[in-house]
Structures are given as structure tokens and as C-alpha cells.
Structure 1
Amino acid sequence: MRKTKWTVFLSLILVLSIFLSACGGGGNNNAGEGGNEGGNAEGGEGKSEQVLNLLESAEIPSMDTTQATDATSFNAMNQIFEGLYRLDENNKPVLGMAADEPKEEEKDGETVYTFTIRDDANWSDGTPVTANDFIFAWKKAMNPDSLSQYASMFGTAGIKNANAIITEGDPLYGKVDELGVKAVDDKTLEITVTQKVPYFKSLLTFATFYPQPKDFVEKQGDKYALETDTMLYNGPFVMSEWNHGDGWTFEKNPEYWDNETVSLEKVTYKIVKDVATGVNLYETGKVDRAGLSADFVDQYKGNEDFVTRLEPTMFFLRLNQKNEALANTNIRKALYLAYDREGLVNVLLNNGSVAAKYFVPKEFAFGPNGKDFREFAPDGFLADKGAEEAKAAWEKGLQEIGKDSVDLEFLTTDTELASKIAEYAKEQFQTKLEGLNVTINKQPWKQFLELETAGDFDISTGGWGPDYPDPMTFLYMFETGADYNRMNYTSEKYDKLVSGAKKETDLEKRWKMMQDAEKVLIEEDFAIVPTYQRGTASLMKPYVKNYFLHPFGADTSLKWVKIEGK
């Protein structure tokens, strides 16, 4: 975040989640409604030890809510911090730090939401959570000196002056005090919006909207959020241990306002990049959940612990147009058409993932007529085209750039699955496009993000899970100059459609504009190469109850998890 999304690394199969958003998803054929993989717990806790042991495939890059950009970070933050709202088991925003639903007042064409912060909302050191904690964090995220890559979320929420403050050249650029937020007193927060957004409350569950304790953060300086003792926590858990590169531990937060609801006393995360190792840890009872790669799916699919689901999380290849060859439309078209997605999902993944020649996922967003966003192009774009058309586009592209060969570097992460997928892409491209040579550059997750953010790649693996329940959470990424564009793509036509859709109040027109934008991005410009919509296959112990998964924002919520019958 996603969104990724982004990590999304709930299990080892999630290794490629490069979205900076939180990703996850409900819709699980072995789960309860709302993505509850553990089912609904009934009765008391019994005498089971309330400890949950999980795997992650990557280190947490950042625990600063204003600076994090990936799903691994967002997922961790969702357990130890809390905003005005949090997502419940049905993926609906429920009250968090807010004591009740806000009062609404219309003023001069604007809407003012007045929130009251809970009297019993405290940080883990016992100090109260205040309205100023929210304002401090939000202005920090908007400040040019500490600008969040998610700063645009405040504009997405319709908050007054948010877009202007982060737009260079605008008279309000950098003037964070002009943001439409106000602390009336310690427990009263006003938010002024110039446009009402139907998913406003869902946005407020996202990590960038979390508060930060101003005095504590300023005291820590550049050490803030680097270790467990340089953070304060206002969520269900605190981070009690952080062994960088190895894992981390959460423990129940006695200062949390709703701590009586929290059953788990401890949650441990161990970083394991190899699927076989994770499965072995699961089989020996050392972890309670493990992701499965294709090699293990057939072995476990009849097991009662086996769980699969399709997520609204998309994977794709970024094509960096700073590269002379990739600046050519026909070269990009050739790469798009040469990639065999069916082979990828049916053989290499084998986990319920779906081949995709589209970017906005299916079974995620539904328009004013109630139909799936994907209904206008259910199979994606150029679905009937393949290797022959790819070869023709490649030859034409080479002629246009005056070359008979092209060398490209493929940036990916160093996990087992990422490596396999990169090798698969290399084989697809080199065998179908004569004269193309691909070199794979594998990097640890944090270093991967740094290189990709800097645009230091030709092709990179991208993944994106939604940050809020609307197609715009995918489409805004590729506007000219957007933080997550990262590939030098620019299209006046695309920008006009996306920016227009952000302002359009006619829902049918807005829907059509977003669909047209996706078509420009993929079918006309071949700016990215969508590869698959993620499915996951995993094992989870039946004694883990109320393990809630979310289709947008953070992957999971552990607040309601119970261990029963172990």
C-alpha cells in the first residue's frame, strides 16, 4: 500500500507484494464471511495458551506511519496503532480512537466533520491520545521536508487544501497549516472536506491517517520508530521485540481502550524466505500459519488446514520509459503480448491466482449499476493476441529505435518465489523476442524498494493491493509524477481521465472515465504488463479463530483472534 497495497506478506506466497499498500482479501471459500479464516469462535477461551506464531518473508522497512510505503509495514502497524476507525471482520470501518460517529455540518459548500477522541484512548506510556496527535502526524505527512509517499491520500479523502499543499507551484505548496484540520481542544478534532467521498471512513482506517505523539516523536528525533523503545503504541498490541532481519514480537497492550476484547497475549513473527522451511515449521508445530507454493498445493489441498482465496491484489511489471527501448510503444507491446500468464498461474503458482491482462481486479469494485468494474472488459485487453503479434510488434519496435538487440535489467526481490517468477519472465521474453537479453537483479526487500523508488531499473516486479474500496486506488498510481509511477510514464489523455474522475460527481460518468483510463494505460500505451490477480494457498491451524483478512488496507486484524482447543 495498498492498498500494497505492498507486506502483504502474511505468508510466504505473498513475497512479491510491492505495493505499498496493504493488501489482503476476503472472499475465501474455506473461510467465514469477511475473510475470517479461523471461523467464528464460540464459548470461552478455555485454557489454551493465547500465543499466535506467524511467518513473514521480509523485514519491516519502516514503522513510521507517515513514511511507510509497503504492506509488510502497514500490516504490522495495524496491530499496534489505531486511527479514528479500524476495519472489522466484515471489512467495515468501526470506531477506533473516535468515541462516536462525527457530527456533520455544511458550511459554504464544505462539510465539517467533528470527531470526539475517546476519554480512555491512551498511548502505551499512559498519556492520552489527543486531537493534536492526529494533526501533528497528518501535517508531518504533508510537509515537504518529511513528505509521505501517501500524502495524496489526504486529497483523496477530500480534505480541504490537501492537494494544493503537496503541489509544487501552487500558492499553498508546503503550507501545512492550511490543511483543513483543527484541534478544537484535546479531545475534539475537526476535519473540513470540500468534496464528500463515499469511502471516507474506510480511508481513515489507513496507516497514514494514524496519530503520532508529538512530544515523544520530537524527543526521539531521527531515531523515532527504529526500535521498540523509540515508539509509543495506541493499538491492541505493543511491539515488545524487534530482531532486525529475524523477526518481531507483539504483546497485548494493557493501555488499549478495548483491551478486554483482545485475547492474544503474544504474537511472534519469524522471517523465513523459503517455503519448504515454512512448511516444516508448520508441520512441527512451531508456527500456526504457512504459505504454500505450487510444489506443496497438490500435497495439501485435501488437508483440513488448507485454505485458498482470491484477493483483489494485482501483480504486474513496471516498464521504465527512461530506457530508450522501453520508451518505444511497440517494444512495450511486445513484452505485454509475449508473457504467458496461463502458464504462470497454472504451473508456477498453482494457488488459485488468475491470469490477468487488466489492472483493476475482478470481484472488487462495483459500479452504480451494481456490476463489477471488470464487466466492461472481463478478460482484459488484447486477450486474443499472443506470441505472433508479440514478434511483429518487437520487430517493428527494433526498427523504430534502430537496433537489432536490446539488453534489459529485471529488478526483483530475493525470495524463493520472486526468483522463480523472474526466471519465468526472462525465459518468456528471451525465447519469444529475438535479440532480447534480460539480466536479473535480486535484492532484499528494503533495497528493492530503494532502487525502485529511485527509478534505478529497466523492468521491475510490481504488486498493488487496494488502500480503499474504489478503482481509483489502482488508477491514480500512474498519473504523471505520481509517487508510485516510478517508471517515467506520462500521458495527457490518461491524466485527464483520472483527474476528471476524481472530481466527477455523476457516478456513471465517473465509472466510465475510470474504465477508459485503464484502457489507455494498458491497451493503448502498454505502460505496464499486468501478470496475475493473486490467489493464495496456505495452511492454518484449526485452533486459530477469528483471523480476519481484509481486501484493502492492512492485510489482517489480530485484535479478535483467539486460540481455542489447542
Structure 2
Amino acid sequence: MKNSKFAWLLSLMLVVALFLAACSGDKEEGTETTTDKEDTDATTEEVAVDEEQVLNLIMGAEIPSMDTALASDAVGFDILNNVMEGLYRLNQDNVAEPAISAGEPTVSEDGLVYTFTLRDANWSDGSPVTANDFEFAWKRAMNPDSASEYGPYMMSGVIKNATEISEGTVEYTELGVKALDEKTLEVTLEKPTAYFLSLMSFGTFYPQKEEFVTAQGENYAKNSEALLYNGPFVLTGWDGTGLTWKLEKNEQYWDKDSVKLTQINYDVVKETQTAVNLYTNDEKDRAGLTGEYAMQYAADPELAHEADTSVFYFKFNQERNGAKTPLANVNIREAISKAFNKEDLVSVVLANGSTAAYSFIPRDFAFDEDGNDFRDVNGDMAVFNVEEAKAAWDKGLSELGVTELTLEILGGDSDLSKKMDEYLKAQLEGNLPGLKISLKEVPFNVRLDLDTSQNYDIQVAGWGPDYQDPFTFLSLWETGGGNNQMSYSNPEYDQLLKDINGSLALDPEARWEAMAKAEKIAVGQDYAVAPIYQRGLMFLIKPYVKGIVKHPFGGDYSYKWAYIEGKN
């Protein structure tokens, strides 16, 4: 018999199985990575489908990487979710369920050792998916030579020895994952982790075939031919940098009978007008709408709306090129956090269903045992207030010994991103005397590179959750953390993070309070980041598009169950 604590843990696992641990990684503001409407009526039952099962979609940015060890963004994870598959996958009800795993794993009495039996599944070249493919991929993601951001981020504190590997005190080969034979995978945890099974659907935990990766060498994942796939589709026509590619049905997929679409055609389109033109000319089956376009099509029967759990925010870089920036001053950060009107931004500039964000944890995302939204614990922080912003600004300038500042805002190059950045520039310069803002608008992959090298002042960034727990957001700002490319550090905050998944891990109420305190420190005290908006989406979509599943976490969409009906 399992002890009472572990029984409680198992019950909690059933609850958290409702969310995906697949993140979304960095988000591109204004990116229409979303490419379909939610329609969970489609099941694996027989449906009346058209003869031609081809879907034509728009993506708002290029694919930065298709290497599961290196992917760290929304676009990459969205495509990976449809061409790859892990031990688990989010189903049509957004419940994580066994995929490559043949069923639920065997769990040791202490909740530390999980033993998975793999189903009969093949790679796109016809070779079997084995337990070694998982062991190899996970260890590769933890190999320092791979320079993976998500490997250490997702595995540290969860998989045995991952923390020590990240710190450089243990070899990556000692990660707690082992292929016992071709069909049996053993995973040892650092401590009982309630959300572990949902993590198994996250892109970093997908398998890789060792022989293929080794044979490809430095060319691995650099184009669609340099990859193997074990998911519903295979990627074709991608040269590693291009603005167009396709997904084609994977005839080697173990559940191919559930897949109705034969092909998905993608084109990267960053201007809303172009996207709308392609849609109205019947060249694309979906087009995201913003601003005047959303209002123009407000009464259109093909207009749809989706809520989203991604939050966009100002990231304040406190150190650039080895020197402290003016943003190392907390009063300067507070001033900027309070100097722009978020309500006007979402209602007039974005006009796409997004809502103003006054905290870093999104609304309608995490709930306590009584169903209370985590968002209500701290209430609103960093509220627009010109008087308070000016007071903090004057104090900050005085402490810096200057009367004016020039700062750069790093943003995206999509049509929506540019409009938003212009609005933010006008607001900040108008409300903070002596501030001059320059705008640097670059493609998504360039922004990711500048973020990694910490070569920016202020960045408009976005984050989608990896699992349904506030910690997926709070963990970003740990001192020295893989996503903390802004030199923020607070010892009290770091200790709270350790306690949240350490001494408080099995005390839900105390853990909840600690997470609320941590958020308040980062957003309402240190102003490490300044929330801007929680994303919402408005788009036109053809009525014949059915069965696409929208995920609240991880890869944005699944096309495994999608189909075309009534087009002709």
C-alpha cells in the first residue's frame, strides 16, 4: 500500500493531467501562429469528409529550429507538436494521455521511479521507435555541448541529476533516464512531481533516433530532409530559413487512421492586409485580424475568437555588453511600468480580443482547490498612473545623475508588432519627460538571438505556459536561470522558488501563498518585468474547416483530428 502522502500525490496527478506541459516558449507578439479554430466535436469516429483533404494556413513567423533539444519558441513547438510525439499527447479534451507509451506507467511506492512500456510505433523511415530514442534525446538536451535552453529549464528539479548536470558537477550521461530494453523506459525523478506525466507531452521530451542524428552530424534538423518524424505528419519543403513549408500525412504513424488531412500548406505572412487578401481570395483558410480589420469584420459569420494564456510584457535588461544599464535602477523600471495605458492599447491598437495585463500570471489559468483564480490573490499591479510614473522617473533620473535617457525597445517585425511598438513609444515619451525611445523591429529568430546574447534595453516579449501551474511563469526570473536574460536577481525571490517546489511541494495552501508572494516581488516591488496584455485572438476561418484542437499549453494546435467537410 502507498502511504497517504503518495495517495494524495496520485490524486493530484489526475487533476494536473488536464494540462499540457508543453510550452510554448517565447512568443512572437502579433504572430498569427494560431492557424485554426477549436472544434472538439471531431473524434476518431467516421466523419463525412471531402475528397481533397488539404488545409492552407498562415504562420506569422519563420521556424527558428526543429531540433527538439534547441526549440524554445511558439512556432517551433507548434510544428513539432504535429510532426513528433512523446510518451504522452494532449487529446481533443486537452487531457494528457498515453501516446508512444502503451499505457499508464508503473510508479514506485515513493513516487520517484516511472517505468514506461512503449507501443509499437515507427519513425517516418519505417524503423521502430525505441526506449533508447528517448534516453538519447533527453541526455542530448542536457549535454552542455548542445547548448539547449529548454533541456536544463524543463528537467532541472524534476529528472534525477538534471540540476547537478546544469551546475556542471555531474556528467549529462548520469541523467535519470534509462532504456531497460527496446520497449521499456525507466525514468527516475529528483522528487515526487505532481505534473510529471503532463511534462511527457512537451517537445523537449520527444525522442530522437541516435543513429540518424549521429549520421546527420551538424546538418541535423537544419532542413526537413535532415529529420525523422514519429507524429501524425512529416515536414516537407523546409530549407531551414524559408517562408513556406508543408506538412504531409505520415503513413508510418501508429494512429494514422485518425488523421484525415493529407497536406497542410504554410506561408509566413506578417501583414494583416496580405493575410486578409489571401483569405478573401480563397488561397488561405484562416487569417488573423487586428485593429481596424477586426472591427471591419465584426459581423462576418466567419469571424471567430479564441482566448489564450500567453502573456506579453516588457523585459527590462539591467546589464548590456558587460555594463549596467539605466534599467538597473528600480525607479526607472517602475516609471516605465506605469507610464502606458494598457486599456487603450488592447481596445484600440490590438483590437483582437486581448485584455490588459496587470500581473505576470494570466487570468483563467491556475486555480486552487476551491476553484479560486490565482489572478485574484494579488489583484492588479503596475497599473497605469502618470503621476506615480513621473514621480518614480524623476527619482530615478536623480539617482542616475542625468536629466534624460535614450532607450531602445526591441520588438517584432509583424504589422501588429510595429503598430503596438509605435503606440508604446508615444505613450512613454509623452508621459516621461526626457525619455527618448528608439525602435528596433526584427524577425522573430533575430529577436531570440538578441535575447539570448542579452543585447537589448527593453524587449517586448511573450510567454506561454509549459504546464498549468504559476511556477511555469515564476521560474523564468530565477537568478542565472536559462530564460533570465536580463540580469534580474533577488535572493528572497530565489528562496521562494526553492521552497515552492521543495519544502512546500506537498502543502498546496502554503505553496500557493509563496507563489503569490514571489509574483508580487517580481512585478509589484522590483518591477523586473512590466505586464502589457494577455493575448486574445480574432480571425476569419472557412466554415468547411473542422476538428482542429486548440491547446491552452504547449504547441498551440493539433491537426491530427482536423478535416475538410463541405468545401465543394
Same fold, TM-score > 0.5, yes or no = yes
**Map of 1:5 onto structure 2:** 25
Residues 260-281 of structure 1: per-residue CA shift (max 9 Å, x gap)? 1100000011111111110111
The reply on whether 1:203 has 2:199 as its aligned counterpart is yes
Moved more, 320-329 or 238-247: 238-247
State the Cα distance separating 1:309 from its structure 2 match.
Answer: 2.1
Secondary structure of the structure 2 residue equivalent to 1:257: coil
The equivalent residue for 1:215 is 211
How far the C-alpha of 1:6 sits from its partner, in A, is 2.5
Could you say if the C-alpha distance between residues 7 and 341 of structure 1 is closer, same or farther in structure 2, counting changes exceeding 3 Å?
A: closer
Which structure 2 residues correspond to residues 363-512 of structure 1 after superposition, within 5 A? 363-378=364-379, 380-383=380-383, 386-503=385-502, 504=504, 505-512=506-513
Q: Distance in 2 between matches of 1:339 and 1:138?
A: 43
List aligned pairs for 1:236-247, cutoff 5 A: 236-243=232-239, 244-247=241-244
Instruction: Give the 3 Å change call, closer, same or farther, for CA 8–561 of structure 1 in structure 2.
Output: farther
Q: Letter of the 1:509 partner, please give it.
A: A
In structure 2, the CA distance between the partners of 1:66 and 1:48, relative to structure 1 (3 Å rule), is same
Q: Deviations over 1:110-137 (max 9, x none)?
A: 5211111112x10011111000000101
3-state SS of 2:270 partner: coil
Contact 1:142–1:166 (CA<8 Å) still a contact in 2? yes
Residue type of the alignment partner of 1:184: L
Amino acid at match of 1:115: F
Pairwise CA distance, 1:158: 2.1
For the 8 Å contact 1:546–1:562, the answer to whether it is kept is yes
Residue aligning to 2:164: 164
Q: Relative to structure 1, is the Cα distance of residues 40 and 212 closer, same or farther in structure 2, using a 3 angstrom cutoff? A: closer
Q: 2:313 touches 2:529 (CA, 8 Å); kept in 1?
A: yes
Evaluate the alpha carbon distance shift between residue 479 and residue 157 of structure 1 in structure 2; reply closer, same or farther with a 3 A threshold.
Answer: closer
Aligned to 1:20: none
2:225 counterpart letter in structure 1: D
Alpha-carbon offset, residue 288 of structure 1: 0.7
The aligned runs of 1:65-214 (5 Å cut-off) are: 65-106=68-109, 109=110, 111-119=112-120, 121-155=121-155, 158-168=158-168, 171-172=169-170, 175-214=171-210
CA contact (8 A) 1:41 1:562 kept: no
Query: What is the distance in 2 between the residues matched to 1:481 and 1:203?
Result: 23
Q: 1:68 to 1:382 in 2, by over 3 A?
A: closer
**Aligned equivalent of 1:233, options 229, 232, 236:** 229
Aligned with residue 287 of structure 2, among 276, 283, 290: 290
Q: CA deviation at 1:156?
A: 5.6
Report the Cα distance in structure 2 between the residues aligned to 1:324 and 1:105, rounded to whole angstroms.
50
Could you say which residue in structure 1 is the equivalent of 2:305? Answer: 308
User: Contact (CA 8 Å) 2:44, 2:561: kept in 1 or not?
Assistant: no
1:549 paired residue number: 550
**What is the SS of the residue equivalent to 2:277?**
helix
CA distance in 2, matches of 1:98, 1:431: 57
**Post-superposition shift, 1:39?**
6.7
Tell me by how many angstroms 1:157 deviates: 6.9
* 1:472, distance to aligned residue in structure 2 (A): 0.8
Q: Which amino acid aligns with 2:455?
A: D
Q: 1:274 aligns with which of 271, 276, 286?
A: 271
Q: What is the Cα deviation at residue 196 of structure 1?
A: 2.2
1:317 and 2:317 equivalent?
Answer: no
Cα shift at 1:245:
2.7
Q: Report deviation, 1:14.
A: 2.8
RMSD: 2.0
Match of 1:260 in 2: 257
Q: Which residue of 2 aligns with 1:21?
A: none
The more displaced of 196-205 and 328-337 is 196-205
- 2-side partners of 1:326 and 1:475: how far apart? 20
1:528–1:126 Cα change, 3 Å: same
AA at the equivalent of 1:430: E
Question: How far 1:148 sits from its partner (Å)?
Answer: 1.5
Q: 2:118, 2:183 within 8 Å by CA — same for their partners in 1?
A: yes
Question: Could you tell me how far apart the structure 2 residues matched to 1:475 and 1:152 are?
Answer: 16
CA contact (8 A) 1:312 1:533 kept: yes
Residue segments in structure 1 that go unaligned for 5+ positions in a row: 18-23
Q: Deviations over 1:278-319 (max 9, x none)?
A: 011111111111100111112212222111122111000111
73 and 442 in structure 1: CA distance in 2 versus 1, 3 angstrom threshold: same
Runs of 4+ in 1 over 6 A off after TM superposition: 37-42
How has the CA–CA distance of structure 1 residues 153 and 99 changed in structure 2, closer, same or farther, with 3 Å as cutoff? farther
Letter of the 2:138 counterpart? W
Map of 2:341 onto structure 1: 340
Q: 2:338, 2:154 → 1: CA distance?
A: 37
Q: Cα deviations across residues 500-527 of structure 1 (Å, max 9, x unaligned)?
A: 1011221111111111000000111011
1:37 is displaced (CA, Å) by: 7.2
CA distance in 2, matches of 1:25, 1:152: 30
Where 2:533 maps in the other structure, the secondary structure is: strand
Equivalent residue of 1:151, what SS? helix
Q: Alpha-carbon deviation of 1:48?
A: 3.7
Q: Cα 1:122–1:81, aligned 2, differ >3 Å: closer, same or farther?
A: same
| Per-residue Cα deviation, 1:40-76 (whole angstroms, up to 9, x for no partner) | 7986334341001100111101000000111100001
Tell me, in whole angstroms, the C-alpha distance in 1 between the residues paired with 2:87 and 2:245: 26
Deviates more, 1:428-437 or 1:368-377: 368-377
The whole-number CA distance in structure 2 between the counterparts of 1:184 and 1:436 is 61
Which one-letter code corresponds to 1:124 in the other structure? Answer: S
Task: Note the C-alpha offset of 1:413.
Answer: 1.5
Q: What is the CA distance between 1:78 and its match in structure 2?
A: 0.6
Ranges in structure 2 where 5+ consecutive residues have no aligned partner: 1-20
In 2, Cα distance between equivalents of 1:154 and 1:382: 29
Moved more, 510-519 or 190-199: 190-199
Deviations 1:211-251 (A, max 9, x none): 00000000000100111211111000011211543211010
Measured at CA, do residues 39 and 390 of structure 1 come closer, stay the same or move farther in structure 2, by a change above 3 Å?
A: farther
Q: What is the alpha-carbon distance in structure 2 between the residues aligned to residue 69 and residue 286 of structure 1? A: 30
Residue 52 of structure 1 is aligned with which of 49, 52, 55?
55
Q: Classify the secondary structure of the residue corresponding to 1:14.
A: coil
How many angstroms apart in 2 are the aligned matches of 1:349 and 1:303? Answer: 19
SS at 1:219's partner residue?
helix
1:6–1:72 Cα contact (<8 Å) kept: no
CA separation in 2, counterparts of 1:40 and 1:101?
Answer: 22
Tell me, what secondary structure is at the counterpart of 2:422?
Answer: helix
Please give the secondary structure, in 1, of the residue aligned with 2:561: coil
Compared with structure 1, are the counterparts of its residues 287 and 7 closer, same or farther at alpha carbon in structure 2 (3 Å cutoff)?
farther
- SS of the residue corresponding to residue 149 of structure 2 reads coil
**Identity, % of aligned positions:** 45
Q: Secondary structure at the match of 2:26?
A: coil
SS in structure 2 of the partner of residue 118 of structure 1: coil
Query: Contact 2:365–2:373 (CA<8 Å) still a contact in 1?
Result: yes
State whether residues 28 and 461 of structure 2, in contact with CA within 8 Å, keep that contact through their aligned partners in structure 1: no
Hey, what's the Cα distance between the residues in 2 that align with 1:7 and 1:561?
24
TM norm structure 2: 0.92
Residues in 2 aligned to 1:25 and 1:470: alpha-carbon distance in whole angstroms? 26
Question: What is the distance in 2 between the residues matched to 1:318 and 1:73?
Answer: 22
Aligned length: 540
* Amino acid corresponding to residue 339 of structure 2 in structure 1: A
Q: Does residue 248 of structure 1 match 2:245?
A: yes
